[in-house]
């Protein structure tokens, strides 16, 4: 009999998720996606359960995928805007966490300061999910790795190249996620935009950090993200000067030497900046299956954290 995988209490960042737990979430996501594709619906395992969606940043994929994930599992989600809550301003984070814990069965928060997520998890008595912070985007990484696994049939030994701002939250979470599943990572960024060395050191992945675009040679996945993230608007002019050589275009795809390389982007995309239309809409692109898998990956989180469905 296989060993029982310990349950997660929150999903704050991937540093606190074991390889076994991460694989358990991937398998549960696959099971829930297959169930819906086969039957047209999921079992209502979250009937009577509610999820608070706490937002400081705007969102399309995060809000809709969590709301629909709860609906498809029989539960209910409700949106709380920045103006309604004023997290850490109108009311302390500790108070918000304790109030919401008495009203609902889980909290998903999309914030600027990662410490706000940490504090929510510290004070809440219900599970807290990080829907994005300036430090990490673990839900995105879970969906991304699920997409790669689904498309290529394996993960161990594969190599992902992240081209662009290697210091951002998506790159950090991909580095951590890769270490859970035996993937290799190449971060290809301009000088001054490398990932935090502590993130690299904490990952079990084989991580190469370089400014050289020849680093895309032979990779299985070519990944990019916006050059200027929310909250960095004052740096936009400088970033637009520095990043253009790192655009993911047909030439860069060809430099991988892999006709079947997967091209990924967490969206929203600034088309014509970090990625061209020809690539985003081209034969190697999995941008939209990747976005759709946010739903299935997060349903696994919700089923486990709110529905007590064990990881296997």
Q: Which residues are catalytic?
A: 110, 137, 140, 225, 266, 294
- Judge whether 263 and 285 are in contact, CB under 8 Å: yes
Strand 221-224 to strand 262-265: parallel, antiparallel, or no bridges (unpaired)? parallel
- Judge whether 26 and 149 are in contact, CB under 8 Å: yes
**E strand or H helix at 20:** helix 19-39
In the 8-state DSSP scheme, what is residue 6? P
- Judge whether 156 and 182 are in contact, CB under 8 Å: yes
CA–CA distance, 282 with 197 (Å, rounded to integer): 34
In the 8-state DSSP scheme, what is residue 142? H
Q: Measuring CA to CA, which residue among 294, 184, 204, 183 is closest to residue 15?
A: 204
CA–CA distance, 111 with 305 (Å, rounded to integer): 20
- Report the alpha-carbon angle 190-194-196, nearest 5: 165
In the 8-state DSSP scheme, what is residue 112? S
| Strand order through the sheet with 50-55 | 76-80, 50-55, 106-110, 128-132
Indicate left, alpha or beta for 272 from its phi (over 0: left) and psi (-120 to 50: alpha): left
């Amino acid at each position: 009999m296989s060993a029982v995988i310990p349950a997660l209490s929150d999903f704050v960042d991937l540093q606190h998720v074991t390889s076994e737990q991460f694989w358990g979430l991937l398998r549960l996501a696959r099971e829930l996606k297959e169930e819906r594709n086969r039957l047209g619906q999921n079992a209502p395992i979250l009937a009577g359960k509610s999820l608070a969606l706490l937002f400081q940043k705007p969102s399309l994929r995060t809000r809709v995928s969590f709301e629909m994930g709860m609906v498809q599992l029989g539960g209910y989600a409700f949106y709380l805007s920045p103006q309604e809550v004023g997290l850490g301003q109108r009311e302390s984070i500790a108070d918000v966490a304790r109030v919401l814990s008495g009203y609902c069965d889980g909290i998903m928060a999309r914030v600027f300061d990662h410490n706000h997520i940490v504090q929510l998890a510290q004070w809440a008595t219900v599970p807290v999910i990080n829907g994005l912070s300036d430090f990490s985007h673990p839900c995105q990484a879970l969906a991304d790795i699920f997409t790669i696994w689904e498309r290529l049939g394996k993960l161990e030994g594969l190599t992902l190249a992240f081209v662009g701002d290697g210091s951002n939250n998506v790159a950090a979470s991909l580095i951590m996620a890769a270490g859970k599943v035996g993937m290799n990572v190449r971060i290809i960024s301009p000088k001054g935009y490398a990932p935090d060395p502590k993130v690299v050191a904490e990952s079990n992945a084989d991580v190469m950090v370089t400014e050289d675009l020849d680093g895309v040679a032979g990779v299985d996945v070519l990944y990019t993200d916006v050059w200027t993230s929310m909250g960095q608007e004052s740096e936009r002019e400088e970033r637009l000067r520095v990043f253009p050589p790192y655009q993911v275009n047909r030439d860069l795809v060809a430099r991988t030497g892999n006709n079947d390389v997967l091209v990924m982007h967490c969206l929203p995309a600034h088309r014509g900046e970090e990625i061209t239309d020809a690539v985003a809409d081209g034969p190697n692109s999995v941008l939209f299956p990747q976005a759709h898998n946010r739903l299935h990956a997060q349903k696994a989180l919700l089923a486990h954290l709110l529905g007590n469905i064990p990881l296997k």
